[in-house]
Amino acid sequence: MGCWCCRRRLVPSTPQHRPQPAVFYLGKFHFIVLLKELPGFYYDPEKNRYFRLLPGHNNCNPLTMEGIRQKEMESRRLQLLQEDDKQEKKVPRKGFNTSSFLQKRQLGFLSVTSYCRLAHELRLSCMQRKKVHIRSSDPSALASDRFNLILADTNSSRLFTVNDVRVGGSKYGIISLRGLKMPTLQVHMHENLYFTNRKVNSVCWASLNHLDSHILLCLMGLAETPGCATLLPASLFVSSHPGERPGMLCSFRIPGAWSCAWSLNIQANNCFSTGLSRRVLLTNVVTGHRQSYGTNSDVLAQQFALLAPVLYNGCRSGEVFGIDVRCPGQGSGWKATRLFHDSAVTSVQILQEEQCLMASDMAGKIKLWDLRTTKCLREYKGHVNEYAYLPLHVHEEEEIVVAVGQDCYTRIWSLHDGQLLRTIPSPYPTSKADIPSVAFSSRLGGFRGAPGLLMAVGQDLYCFSYS
């Protein structure tokens, strides 16, 4: 590499170098150095100059790589937000637009299935962001409470919400989506003075008395109070059936639950499952009977199959396995299927025919698995996750997959071939505390509703409806 004095010439003596390659000759060798990548310096493209990153150069406002990265991400988010607000959207596939789409349909080049799928993709690309006006008995709370998560029920007529309260703790509510109609977009928030200082690890709708009659919550332990699984009646917020009386809250002492799932299978009726550290616990709500299955890792995601009496689990180790709930936990034959990811699995979703399963992990991988051959059929690229517990949404009627990344971008893929159809930036600046929570439905507001996406972030709720 030559002598020390020659190597010194590779470092600029002033922070105002142009971002052009520089060629240095050392004997019979020559080196090309791109000045943008100089260690200890940051190149600002707006000011066209370098700034030193070493301590002591600017003690009042020191530059850090994290701050620089945050500034670049915010600039990109604002740019994408402006593009997303335009009337003319980018087409989801190259060389595919409305005119060519209709022409191929008229000439008979598209089957009915392909026509419907591509029509959905075009409508997805045209979705416009509209702010939803939320009415509540306590309007002041809406201005301060922040959305933590939203979860739509089976018919997409209600949203269960978990809000972070300004004074600390959480507050639960149910939003009725009956009034979600253009152009007003008004919904009503039904609240109950039920607070908890404990973190909500997992939540799902439960069908105890009727479809989606309760909400199942897994609460983390706090100090001397152990963790528990709570069945919260939806009638405590608003009654969905005429003459229905408010139900009673049921709590089960289950410490350290990471995940939960409610069974709609007739062979595991009135049962729910909780994923714990190194075991799965199956509980019958009516009889109180419990059945335990030992695992080698923490169970972070769960879902029951509807046709078969099988519970699918995703683990921190990356393993996805099925449990035949008819088998006792002491035996060795209860594992029905085994799949493997390279990172912790955060979400599992079973497709309607129950021949395929989709799983996402903490490495940002989303994979579609064939449960019969235990092989990966397809991978959906672009998802961003490093360590967060992020859900996955699969909608077979529209043939799309929806996921929110740790970078706060909502991405929509084609379930058919894994094509990334749309990337939606968050209306709020990128932050770990403001990762959007979304819900997509073919019928927002009930059976007569239109397809669309709901996004809750900060204190606001947004609707992306089909035009």
DSSP string of 149-165, one letter each residue:
EEEE-TTSSEEEEEEE-
Question: What's the angle, vertex CA 317, arms to CA 230 and CA 379, rounded to 5?
Answer: 100
State both tokens at 392. 């996955």
| Residue 161 β-bridge partners | 150, 173
- What is the average pLDDT score of the chain? 83
Measured CA to CA in angstroms, residue 40 lies from 34, 52, 65, 285 at distances of 14, 6, 10, 61
b/e per residue, 400-437, with b = 16+ CB within 10 A? bbbbbbbbbbbbbbbbeebeebbebbbbbebeeeebbb
Q: Is 68 helix (H, G, I), strand (E, B) or coil?
A: helix
Is the Cβ–Cβ distance between 336 and 324 less than 8 Å?
Answer: yes
Angstrom distance (rounded) from CA 100 to CA 104? 6
CA dihedral 430, 146, 440, 364 (to 10 degrees): 40
Angstrom distance (rounded) from CA 417 to CA 413? 8
Q: What is the pLDDT of residue 331?
A: 64
Q: What is the pLDDT of residue 215?
A: 95
User: Which residue type sits at 184?
Assistant: T
Angstrom distance (rounded) from CA 152 to CA 154? 7
Direct distance between the N- and C-terminal alpha carbons of the chain, in angstroms, rounded to an integer: 63
Q: What is the pLDDT of residue 30?
A: 46
Angstrom distance (rounded) from CA 16 to CA 174? 57
Q: In 27-139, where do the E strands start and end?
A: 29-33, 41-44, 49-52, 128-131, 133-135
Total Cβ atoms within 10 A of residue 324 = 17
Which of 202, 212, 281 has its CA nearest to residue 241? 212
The stretches in the chain having pLDDT less than 70 are 1-37, 53-65, 87-91, 94-98, 101, 193-195, 239-247, 331-332, 467
Q: What is the pLDDT of residue 195?
A: 66
Angstrom distance (rounded) from CA 192 to CA 170? 12
State both tokens at 182. 């253009």
Domain ranges in the chain are 130-465
Helix axis angle, 98-106 relative to 112-125, nearest 10°? 170
Total Cβ atoms within 10 A of residue 147 = 21
| Residue 452 β-bridge partners | 441, 465
| H/E run at residue 116 | helix 112-125
Angstrom distance (rounded) from CA 407 to CA 18? 31
Cα maximum dimension of the chain:
92
* DSSP-derived secondary structure letter, 236: G
Angstrom distance (rounded) from CA 419 to CA 120? 13
Q: What is the pLDDT of residue 8?
A: 37
Q: Which CATH superfamily is domain 130-465 in?
A: YVTN repeat-like/Quinoprotein amine dehydrogenase (2.130.10.10)
Is the Cβ–Cβ distance between 41 and 50 less than 8 Å?
Answer: yes
Is the Cβ–Cβ distance between 180 and 464 less than 8 Å?
Answer: no
Q: Is 128 helix (H, G, I), strand (E, B) or coil?
A: strand
Angstrom distance (rounded) from CA 443 to CA 413? 19
Q: What is the pLDDT of residue 236?
A: 87
Which of 120, 114, 204 has its CA nearest to residue 397? 120
Angstrom distance (rounded) from CA 74 to CA 417? 31
State both tokens at 102. 């209709």
Of all residues in the chain, the percent with pLDDT exceeding 90 is 48
Q: What is the pLDDT of residue 91?
A: 67
